[in-house]
């Protein structure tokens, strides 16, 4: 089961790599990043609604959605930010450089989130080896972006 999960995550990473170029071309076609993000999120919303309606998943009730703490709503805003930044950055940095910058941001934040138990997650330690690994990734990011 773990192998399938790892393969699914790798496939997700490959799909994330495709998002930037797709959104960039969509923005060119539609007239800008806001238009592209609106279409992208509209398609995503429709896909999720279809999945909700065609599976045994319950459609969330309004009262349940309203009771979700405000900070959790940031997830949707984070998605908007990432899509808009990818539209602006991918044509200038290239796909690989954009992604390596995303990865360094994810790793650095992930270490902090693990260390403090952010968002209700379990607290996990941070070691010198972790810091060294993060430094190597940062060095790799710099080499990838540097022309």
Q: Which tokens hold the place of 90?
A: 């991918």
What pTM did the predictor assign?
0.81
Structure confidence at residue 12 (pLDDT)? 92
Structure confidence at residue 26 (pLDDT)? 96
Instruction: Give me the mean pLDDT over the 114-143 stretch.
Output: 90
| pLDDT at residue 147 tops 80 | no
pLDDT band at 132 (very low <50, low <70, confident <90, very high): very high
Structure confidence at residue 60 (pLDDT)? 87
Structure confidence at residue 59 (pLDDT)? 83
Structure confidence at residue 146 (pLDDT)? 83
pLDDT band at 126 (very low <50, low <70, confident <90, very high): confident
**SS3 per-residue string spanning 29-50:** HHCCHHHHHHHHHHHHHHHHHH
| pLDDT at residue 93 tops 80 | yes
Instruction: Give me the mean pLDDT over the 71-80 stretch.
Output: 91
Count of domains in the chain?
1
Q: For 24, phi and psi rounded to 5 degrees?
A: -60, -45
Cα gap 128→111, rounded to integer Å:
12
pLDDT band at 144 (very low <50, low <70, confident <90, very high): confident
Per residue in 41-73, pLDDT (tens digit) is 999 999 999 999 999 888 889 999 999 998 999
Cα gap 102→137, rounded to integer Å:
11
| pLDDT at residue 36 tops 90 | yes
Domain of residue 32: give its range.
Answer: 2-145
């Amino acid at each position: 089961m773990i192998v399938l999960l790892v393969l699914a995550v790798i496939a997700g990473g490959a799909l994330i790599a495709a998002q930037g170029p797709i959104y960039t071309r969509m923005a060119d076609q539609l007239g800008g990043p806001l238009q592209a993000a609106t279409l992208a999120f509209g398609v995503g919303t429709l896909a999720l609604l279809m999945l909700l309606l065609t599976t045994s998943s319950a459609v969330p009730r309004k009262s349940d959605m309203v009771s979700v703490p405000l900070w959790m709503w940031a997830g949707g805003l984070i998605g908007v930010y990432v899509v808009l930044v990818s539209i602006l950055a991918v044509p200038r940095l290239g796909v690989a450089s954009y992604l390596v910058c995303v990865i360094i941001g994810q790793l650095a934040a992930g270490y902090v989130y693990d260390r403090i138990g952010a968002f209700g997650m379990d607290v996990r330690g941070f070691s010198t080896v972790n810091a060294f690994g993060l430094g190597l990734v940062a060095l790799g990011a710099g080499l990838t972006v540097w022309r």
